[in-house]
C-alpha cells in the first residue's frame, strides 16, 4: 500500500480487517503518513478512537490550534489531511472522550517521540535501508533452532556503558563496542530491554507509551538501530528486542483510556 492510496475508502477497507483483529500492518495506515513524494501534499493523520465524541489534531503545523478530524463511518477511525505538516513537526491528538473529558494524547502509532518529560509525537518518514545480512538470514533458515545452542546477552541500551561525560552510548557506539564484546564472550544473541518509547527511565522500558517509536532518548532515527542489527547479523549474532504488550504506562497523555474508556486495554482492570 503506497501512501498515495491513503484515501477515506482505503482507510475504511483497512479498518474492516483491523476491527476483525486480522490486520497485521496497522502502522501502515494509522498514525502520520506523507501523502505523496511532494511536500506540498502534506500528511494524513489517522487514529482509532471508537468511543470518542470528537477528535482534533494540534501541532507545529497549525500553531497548536486544534483542527477537527473526520469520523470514518462506523469504523472507529478518525482522519484528516494537513498540507502544512512537515517531517519532524511535533503533534498531539485532542480527544473528547465518552466521559466528556478533553485530553491531549500522543499518537499510539507515531514513529518518533519527544524526549521525556516532553510528550509530543514527532512526524517521521521511514527510510529504505540496504541490508547486508543475507548470509545470516540464509544460515538461520537452514539451522535447526531447537537443536542449536543459544547463549543470550541481555542489555539495557542506556546503561550498558556511558561516555566519560555521562552520555549514554548511541546505537552506533554500541555497534562498534558491544558487538565485538558479545562475539568475543561467546554469546549467540543480544537481547535489548524495550527500546520503544517510555516516559520513565527507571522502568527500563517496561512502561511503554508508543510501540512503534524508538524511545526519544535513544534518537529519532531508525537507521542507527538498523545499522546495529545489520552489523550484528554479519558478525553471526542474533538480535532480540523485548516487546511488552501486556501493559503500558497509564499517564493521561498516553494510551490508557485513550478515548474516554478502555480501548487499547481490556475493560476489566
Q: Do you find a cis peptide bond into 117, omega within 30 degrees of 0?
A: yes
Q: Which of 103, 267, 107 is nearest to 197 (CA)?
A: 107
Sorting pLDDT into bands at 50, 70 and 90, what band is 7? confident
Its pTM stands at 0.90
Query: Looking at the DSSP assignment, which residues form a beta bridge with residue 269?
Result: none
- Counting Cα atoms < 13 Å in the Cβ hemisphere of 249 gives 24
pLDDT value of residue 38: 60
Span 44-67, average pLDDT: 98
Query: What is the H or E stretch that residue 32 is in?
Result: strand 31-34
CA distances from 57 to 32, 60, 81, 207 (A): 11, 10, 10, 25
Q: What is the pLDDT of residues 218-268, one digit of tens each?
A: 888 899 999 999 999 999 999 999 998 888 899 999 999 999 999 999 888
Mean pLDDT of 138-149: 90
Say what angle helices 171-184 and 223-234 make with each other, to 10 degrees. Answer: 20
Report residue 26 as a C-alpha cell. Answer: 496497522
User: Do strands 189-192 and 152-155 pair parallel, antiparallel, or not at all (unpaired)?
Assistant: parallel
Tens digits of residue pLDDT in 11-55? 999 999 999 999 999 999 999 999 876 656 899 999 999 999 999
pLDDT at 2 over 50: no
Q: How far is CA 105 from the centre of its chain?
A: 15
Cα→Cα distances 239→30, 136, 189, Å: 27, 12, 6
Amino acid at each position: 500500500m503506497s501512501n498515495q492510496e491513503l484515501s477515506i475508502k482505503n482507510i475504511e477497507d483497512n479498518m474492516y480487517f483491523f476491527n476483525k483483529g486480522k490486520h497485521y500492518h496497522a502502522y501502515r495506515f494509522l498514525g502520520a503518513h506523507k501523502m505523496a513524494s511532494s511536500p506540498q501534499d502534506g500528511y494524513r493523520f489517522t487514529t482509532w478512537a471508537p468511543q470518542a465524541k470528537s477528535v482534533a489534531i494540534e501541532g507545529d503545523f497549525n500553531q497548536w490550534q486544534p483542527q477537527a478530524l473526520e469520523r470514518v463511518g462506523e469504523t472507529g477511525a478518525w482522519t484528516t489531511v494537513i498540507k502544512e505538516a512537515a517531517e519532524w513537526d511535533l503533534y498531539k491528538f485532542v480527544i473528547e472522550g465518552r466521559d466528556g473529558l478533553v485530553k491531549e494524547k500522543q499518537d499510539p502509532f507515531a514513529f518518533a517521540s519527544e524526549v521525556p518529560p516532553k510528550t509530543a509525537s514527532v512526524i517521521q518518514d521511514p527510510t529504505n535501508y540496504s541490508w547486508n545480512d543475507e548470509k545470516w538470514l540464509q544460515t538461520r533458515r537452514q539451522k535447526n533452532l531447537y537443536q542449536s545452542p543459544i547463549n543470550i546477552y541481555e542489555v539495557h541500551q542506556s546503561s550498558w556503558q556511558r561516555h566519560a561525560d555521562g552520555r549514554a552510548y548511541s546505537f552506533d557506539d554500541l555497534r562498534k563496542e558491544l558487538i565485538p564484546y558479545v562475539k568475543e564472550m561467546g554469546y549467540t544473541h543480544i537481547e535489548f530491554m524495550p527500546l520503544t518509547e517510555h516516559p520513565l527511565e527507571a522502568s527500563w522500558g517496561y512502561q511503554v507509551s508508543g510501540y512503534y517509536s524508538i524511545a526519544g532518548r535513544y534518537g529519532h532515527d531508525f537507521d542507527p538501530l538498523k545499522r546495529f542489527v545489520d552489523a550484528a547479523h554479519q558478525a553471526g549474532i542474533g538480535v532480540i528486542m523485548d516487546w511488552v504488550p501486556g501493559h503500558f504506562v497509564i499517564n493521561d497523555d498516553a494510551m490508557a483510556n485513550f478515548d474516554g474508556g478502555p480501548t487499547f486495554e481490556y475493560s476489566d482492570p
